[in-house]
């Protein structure tokens, strides 16, 4: 015992009870920084860095003459004294060997002729 304080014996040498253990703060900050950098690099390698891939080829330009639409007419209908409904009529010409399906909607009417 030193005076009235007991002495603890351990890995840090003789430490009197009631005293704080001072540790090298720079050493702790340096180790913490290395651990954070290591974990960040590990996360990027495992899930974040995309593998080197060949650049995507641009799509070949499509056949701009495959389907053509021609304005067939316009109909204007009076809904009330302040509103009118306008209907645009188009003829579609499919110049390919493929069949296409047009979906009907609340503002679309598909008629075949």
State the Cα torsion 35-38-43-48 to the nearest 10°. 140
**pLDDT number for residue 76:** 92
Say how far apart CA 50 and CA 5 lie, in whole Å.
61
Say how far apart CA 107 and CA 99 lie, in whole Å.
23
Q: Which residue has the tokens 């253990």?
A: 21
Prediction pTM value:
0.40
- Euclidean distance between the first and the last CA atom of the chain, given in angstroms as a whole number: 110
Q: Are 15 and 23 in contact (CB under 8 A)?
A: no
Give, for all 113 residues of the chain, the pLDDT tens digit: 445 555 544 555 555 555 555 567 778 888 889 999 999 888 877 775 666 666 677 766 777 888 888 999 999 999 999 999 988 888 888 888 888 777 777 877 777 66
Residue 17 burial by Cβ neighbours in a 10 Å radius (0-12, 13-18, 19+): exposed
Q: Which residue has the tokens 């009907």?
A: 104
Say how far apart CA 39 and CA 29 lie, in whole Å.
15
């Amino acid at each position: 015992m030193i005076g009235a304080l007991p002495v603890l014996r351990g890995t840090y040498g003789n430490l009197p009870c009631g005293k704080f253990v001072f540790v090298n703060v720079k050493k702790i900050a340096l180790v913490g920084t290395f651990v954070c950098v290591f974990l960040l690099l590990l996360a990027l390698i495992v899930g974040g860095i995309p593998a080197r891939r060949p650049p995507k080829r641009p799509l070949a330009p499509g056949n701009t003459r495959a389907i053509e639409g021609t304005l067939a007419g316009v109909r204007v209908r009076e809904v009330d004294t302040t509103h009118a409904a306008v209907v645009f009529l188009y003829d579609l010409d499919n110049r390919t060997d493929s069949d296409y399906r047009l979906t009907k909607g609340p503002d679309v009417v598909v008629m075949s002729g």
